[in-house]
Amino acid sequence: MSKNEQRVVIGMDPHKRSVTIEVMTGDESVVGGDRFTTDVTGYRLMLAGVDQWPNRVWAIEGCNGIGRHVAMRLVADGEQVIDVPPKLSARTRVFATGQGRKTDVTDAHSVALVGTRMSGLRPVVRDEQREVLRLLVDRRRSIGEEHTRKVSQLHALLLELVPGGAKKDLSAAQAKKSLAGVRPRDVVGKTRKRVAAELVADLERLYLRKKAANKELLELIKATRTGLLELHGIGPSGAARLLVEVGDITRFPDRNHFASWTGTAPIDASSGDHVRHRLSRGGNRQINKTLHIMATVQLRNATEGRAYYDRKKATGKTSNEAMRCLKRRLSDAVYRTLIADLARHTATGPGGQQGNVSDSSATGSHPDASSSDKPLRGPATQHPKPALPKVS
């Protein structure tokens, strides 16, 4: 095979303003590599430097994080890009070097090794609808965080202005009413009231921005025809976050893999005859937070989730343990809903009406006994998977 026909993997360690690459052949021989800036000039030099290997695939670390900007540029230019999870490249670096020292060169080498040795890594594709959802849901989250921060500042000021402070769940209208009855006499009190009034005005503007952001998200989510909004406790922000972070649901073979990714599957910590499981602190924490909010909303209402929680408490589980069981059950419900969405979107006949979510409510009328505490092995439901590029 000539040099031009040789298939290579280009491992990349990305940063904001620079990237380090290493070119590796199928037999793990290093045939090139360099460091480039991410501006227009550096990007063009990088493409020119690898032009001698037309049969190439880019393996980039963290395509949902720091490597996203350069990965999307390459995809837009028609390059084949696969995503290498940072944890996977970190493990490879330790085994490849015998120690965990990090440099840009060793990072690029470990990413290239992962891309060369492993098939089935997730390809990076350009999905405009998903990108729009990501931008809007991130914007909605920042608005919510700013709202929380300003409410905290307002509480601190009202504690000095109103004896006993204000109620915990404080709205802008309630804060304005409280300030109307305050008549400070000294300059410090007058200044404190003025700053508090400015915060109230900021909260009123943020409320309008949140309302508009929710409306825009809701319209986009309805256009996807997802069944997530039918689940109790999932709003526009939660549904958008799930669609953005999950992406292709077929990358999860079954609900147990999905629960491990969401951080709701307990970790086996048994030793000898002592069988126990502990809380998983891994997985996607943004999705874990979405499921936690979903569980909290269900507990506040007379839902199947509340009934399931009470049944777990009745068996002797603590409140935290029962909450973890409920979150695991909700993870299963989300997984079934996304699978139903896929079946509905790909159906071409009457058999495609598998999108019915009658059993994808929070817990269902007849919950599975095996899906609450620990994922058990069993036959996985087979779903069509997109062909992934082989890089070795």
Last residue of a domain, one of 185, 207, 224: 224
CB 308 within 8 A of CB 369: no
User: Please, which pLDDT band fits residue 2 given cuts at 50, 70 and 90?
Assistant: low
In this structure, the answer to whether residues 192 and 301 fall within a common structural domain is no
Q: Is the pLDDT of residue 63 over 80?
A: yes
The whole-number pLDDT of residue 216 equals: 93
Last residue of a domain, one of 89, 117, 145: 117
In this structure, the answer to whether residues 80 and 189 fall within a common structural domain is no
Q: Across the chain, which distance is largest between two alpha carbons, in Å?
A: 88
Q: Is the pLDDT of residue 305 over 90?
A: yes
The whole-number pLDDT of residue 125 equals: 84
Nearest C-alpha neighbor of 280 from the set 262, 296, 294, 298:
262
In this structure, the answer to whether residues 136 and 73 fall within a common structural domain is no
CB proximity list for 332: less than 8 A, separation 6 or greater: 255, 258, 259, 368, 371
In this structure, the answer to whether residues 348 and 255 fall within a common structural domain is yes
Tell me, yes or no, whether 68 lies in a domain.
yes
CB proximity list for 66: less than 8 A, separation 6 or greater: 14, 15, 16
For residue 94 the two structure tokens come to 């330790």
With 0.75 as the threshold, say if the pTM is over it. Answer: no
Tell me, yes or no, whether 57 lies in a domain.
yes
| 267 φ/ψ angles, rounded to the nearest 5 degrees | -100, 130
In this structure, the answer to whether residues 136 and 217 fall within a common structural domain is yes
CB 337 within 8 A of CB 234: no
Tell me, yes or no, whether 387 lies in a domain.
no
- Mean pLDDT (the chain) is 84
Q: What is the average pLDDT across 58-67?
A: 89
Q: Is the pLDDT of residue 4 over 50?
A: yes
Please compute, for residue 210, the number of CA atoms within 13 A of its CA located in the half-sphere on the CB side.
16
Return the SS3 of 16. Answer: coil
Domain around 297: 228-355
The whole-number pLDDT of residue 60 equals: 94
Tell me, yes or no, whether 346 lies in a domain.
yes
The whole-number pLDDT of residue 247 equals: 84
Q: β-strand 56-61 against 30-37: which pairing, if any?
A: unpaired
In this structure, the answer to whether residues 12 and 99 fall within a common structural domain is yes
Q: Is the pLDDT of residue 231 over 90?
A: yes
CB 124 within 8 A of CB 63: yes
The whole-number pLDDT of residue 271 equals: 75
Tell me, yes or no, whether 272 lies in a domain.
yes
In this structure, the answer to whether residues 182 and 233 fall within a common structural domain is no
Return the SS3 of 268. Answer: strand
CB 75 within 8 A of CB 81: yes
In this structure, the answer to whether residues 178 and 276 fall within a common structural domain is no
In this structure, the answer to whether residues 69 and 93 fall within a common structural domain is yes
Q: What is the average pLDDT across 43-53?
A: 94
The whole-number pLDDT of residue 196 equals: 93
Last residue of a domain, one of 224, 240, 263: 224
Residue with tokens 């015998």: 98
CB 372 within 8 A of CB 328: yes
Residue with tokens 């989510």: 221
Query: Tell me, what DSSP letter sits at residue 319?
Result: H
Distance CA 23, CA 30 (A): 6
The whole-number pLDDT of residue 98 equals: 58
Distance CA 350, CA 358 (A): 17
Q: Is the pLDDT of residue 270 over 80?
A: no
Please compute, for residue 313, the number of CA atoms within 13 A of its CA located in the half-sphere on the CB side.
10
In this structure, the answer to whether residues 242 and 343 fall within a common structural domain is yes
Category of 98 on φ-ψ map: left (φ > 0), alpha (ψ -120 to 50) or beta: left
Work out the angle at residue 157's Cα, subtended by the Cα atoms of residues 155 and 163, and round it to the nearest 5 degrees: 85
Q: What is the average pLDDT across 351-362?
A: 40
Express each pLDDT in 314-337 by its tens digit: 999 889 889 999 999 999 999 999
In this structure, the answer to whether residues 78 and 192 fall within a common structural domain is no
Q: Is the pLDDT of residue 350 over 70?
A: no
The whole-number pLDDT of residue 306 equals: 94
In this structure, the answer to whether residues 164 and 246 fall within a common structural domain is no
Tell me, yes or no, whether 270 lies in a domain.
yes
Handedness of CA 227, 231, 237, 241 (dihedral sign): negative
How many structural domains is the chain composed of?
A: 3
For the chain, report the end-to-end CA distance as a whole number of angstroms: 15
Q: Is the pLDDT of residue 248 over 50?
A: yes
Tell me, yes or no, whether 73 lies in a domain.
yes
Tell me, yes or no, whether 379 lies in a domain.
no
Nearest C-alpha neighbor of 38 from the set 71, 63, 61, 11:
71
Express each pLDDT in 363-373 by its tens digit: 343 344 343 44
Q: Is the pLDDT of residue 144 over 50?
A: yes
